[in-house]
Chain A
């Protein structure tokens, strides 16, 4: 599934769930026919970070990422705490699937880092499965060192890049 498709499915899915909640702000909630109007594009608010069922809550409040030590794929105590929260969220929001992205810092050869990122993503996946999340809802992908979020060549940046990020999506994992 392409990244674009994931985004499209996510927006459609969240829009649909917003329509079923009349108390929510946004254009999708007031009156029959809203959200299906023939004349134009309706918009519905995505759940905010304060809505515990929203992907925003997942990424911002629970935390979508865990960090790793140099050349390691073992989870830290802090990482496990974050993942406990992720597991809980996934178990109470069964419509969502997740892709776990593994990343490495730039200190390493390219292919080894792809392998290392795969190992990190898998460490997260296995932990979530051990906490009861069905493995069928989780996929892993490694970007190696190709997608840094911090670009300096110092430990302060490297530490942020050695990460596994859980990306929430709606739809089938085909």
Chain B
């Protein structure tokens, strides 16, 4: 899908890498770099003139794709778009030389130019990213090919490339989220699985509302979803194929309850909770062989397991100490080590795809928080606070979290929000109705 327009030397990348090591934030004088780990307060100003239409009738698509690109970048809180009314010069064609002085004059640090062409239902989008102050291209021009129906993905692809080049981090815009779509009053709530683009567009439903569904979890490649279903009258874990919407139950034990499933990084193992009487422990099932093994044996509640990215460890919650706390253990079981020691209760831990952090839900003094900590429990940071925040899920780049926020009272309703791991840029994700329990999938190929 990605083709290099020109092979360029790696000098610019070297410069970018150096700047990242020095940890400079966005500045008018320095190289075009945002170090998002330091917590950027001043968004980087960029200009993205409407992409050129290189074939007749592509004007609207070109404008729409440019809008998606701008919405993605500004939605991070790290970038600020300069309105076209401020532009001194336009872009007459994709290959025309850039009048850097005109872009410098309006303080645009980055300039993104692009062009769109359509042939039947085939769509081609190309772009270039410029560091306005050095007057050089940042990275190579790229082009993406696909179908016109997938035009939003083209905007996301361009935004991912721009974000990645300027921040040095992976992008997350061309990704999807599976979630629970809710409808109806609080005491008669209907729930079904929905899937959408990360920004709330293109919502589709994967199940009907005839039985309760809980907490869907994407496979690492985004082609399958694990979720808890009450179809049988009892909570059981289903595996659903996103493309065919075919589903199968993977836990069939009679009279027992299974819930809280998650995939391993290779998509072959599933870890989950199983209730035997009043004892809830963590089990693992190998989808290839069908073999099951029990990983915890304490008489307490053990649930919400999540693999480390390298597959060697599992983080989970347990109330063995008397309240919900976060523990780590080997992926094959064994003695767990407690890692949460702050005030209050800690639940629903999720290991970052980068491996460096664990996101969690914290309950303390009547409030709920989404937080992150190092995998040894140190450097705890609470990112949100409300009547009820829960169920964090990581963006593919491990820099943004999505979670459920539920409002208080008889009319209380859940919505999805996202927040940076710096605690900045809290935003509601538009889902066109009540939504909960998001699982953020991988970047799409």
Contact = CB atoms under 8 A, between A and B. Distances in A.
Interface of A: 1-3, 6, 71, 73, 99, 106-112, 114-116, 118-119, 122-123, 125-126, 139-144, 146-153, 173
Interface in B269-301: 273, 275, 277-278, 280, 301
28 contacts: A2-B232, A73-B278, A99-B233, A108-B347, A109-B324, A109-B348, A110-B215, A111-B214, A111-B303, A112-B301, A112-B303, A112-B319, A112-B348, A114-B259, A115-B273, A116-B301, A122-B278, A125-B277, A140-B257, A141-B234, A142-B235, A142-B275, A144-B214, A148-B187, A151-B412, A152-B410, A153-B408, A153-B412
B142 to A, nearest CB: 41
Interface in B230-282: 230-235, 255, 257, 259-260, 273, 275, 277-278, 280
B390 A115 contact: no
B359 to A, nearest CB: 13
Interface string B159-197: 000000000000000000000000001110101000000
B347 A112 contact: yes
Contacts of A73: 278
A1 B214 CA distance: 19
A143 B228 CA distance: 11
B88 to A, nearest CB: 53
Contact of A111 (B185, B187, B212, B347): B347
Given A109-B361, A151-B185, A118 B280 contact: yes
Question: Chain B interface residue count: which class?
Answer: 35 or more
B97 interface: no
B387 interface: yes
B57 interface: no
A14 B319 CA distance: 43
Given A109-B390, A115-B303, A140-B275, 9 more contacts: A106-B406, A109-B324, A115-B259, A123-B278, A125-B277, A146-B191, A147-B187, A149-B187, A151-B185
B409 interface: yes
Contacts of A126: 277-278
A116 B410 CA distance: 23
Given A110-B437, A114-B214, A114-B260, A141 B235 contact: yes
Contacts of B437: 110
B118 interface: no
A71 B257 CA distance: 19
A6 B280 CA distance: 26
Contacts of A3: 233
Given A110-B437, A146-B214, A115 B233 contact: no
A173 to B, nearest CB: 8
A66 B234 CA distance: 20
Chain A at the B interface: SS class: mixed
A1 B278 contact: no
A114 B260 CA distance: 9
Contacts of B232: 1-2
Interface of B: 185-187, 189, 191, 212, 214-215, 228, 230-235, 255, 257, 259-260, 273, 275, 277-278, 280, 301, 303-304, 317, 319, 323-324, 347-348, 361, 363, 387-388, 390-391, 406, 408-410, 412, 437
A112 B316 CA distance: 11
B387 A139 contact: no
B347 A151 contact: no
B280 A106 contact: no
Contacts of B390: 109-110
B390 to A, nearest CB: 5
A74 to B, nearest CB: 11
Contacts of A2: 231-233
B301 A153 contact: no
A115 B409 contact: no
Determine which residue in A73, A126, A147, A149 has the highest number of CB atoms from chain B within 10 A of its CB, and name it. Answer: A147
A123 B214 CA distance: 24
Contacts of B363: 107-109
Contacts of B319: 112
B324 A112 contact: yes
Contacts of A142: 235, 257, 275
Contact of B304 (A6, A71, A112): A112
A9 B437 CA distance: 35
A115 B387 CA distance: 22
A153 B301 CA distance: 25
A73 B299 CA distance: 13
